[in-house]
Amino acid sequence: MEEFRIPTLGERFPEMEVKTTKGVKKLPDDYAGKWFVLFSHPADFTPVCTTEFVAFQNRKKEFEQLNCELIGLSIDQVFSHIKWVEWIKEKLGVEIEFPIIADDMGQVARQLGMIHPNKGTNTVRAVFIVDDKGIVRLIIYYPQETGRNIDEVLRVVKALQTSDKYGVATPANWPNNELVKDHVIIPPATSEQEAKERLEKAEKGEIECFDWWFCHKGL
């Protein structure tokens, strides 16, 4: 069996050609200039996975507003995906509009570390967030028994894009942090002079600081 090294944060997403419910796609090239969230689920026609797909679809427009596309994946054949999507539309009234990768040979799942031997032969609930340059920005693995919080995935995309745009970091639970509310964190000073300037800016009300190394501001 071919061995793969799982991509790490900051690396380019590995190039691959995949079968999906929307035809063959090349990753990450077909999404050049766009962000995408690739998420795996253990199997079609399972309750927790169904709730996740409905939740992702219900937030699809919010992801699109962030220039971000959704891509599902499981080790199922494409006809299984198609029938499951039909069932969701017929029974639950939700049309799944994003592509689902049919990784029936499990090659993509192995390459991305989605199969964890201690959790069986199906994929765990992995999440890969890839930016508009094809770079992996976030990886999360959930066990099969725990459904994902889709709002958290959406929040992280917003946080990463905010960090990129403004050169800042985001605090815990942003934009609802207990200490700084919806403010962002200014990177720590890297010199004595910069530390002094930070405090001077705080005195002028340009930024807010708990100390020279912990400063924040609104956007």
Catalytic residues, by residue number, are 49
- What number of CA atoms fall less than 13 Å from residue 123's CA on the CB side? 33
Phi, psi of 183 (to 5 degrees): -70, 160
Exposure b/e, 139-157, CB count within 10 A at least 16 = b? beebebeebbebeebbbbb
Task: Let me know: does 125 contact 42? Beta carbons within 8 Å.
Answer: yes
Cis check: omega of the bond before 28, within 30 degrees of 0: yes
Q: Which two tokens stand for residue 98?
A: 């994003």
DSSP structure class, residue 82: H
β strands within 150-218, DSSP E: 184-186, 208-211, 214-217
What type of residue is 198?
A: R
- Measured CA to CA, the distance from residue 16 to residue 14 in angstroms comes to 6
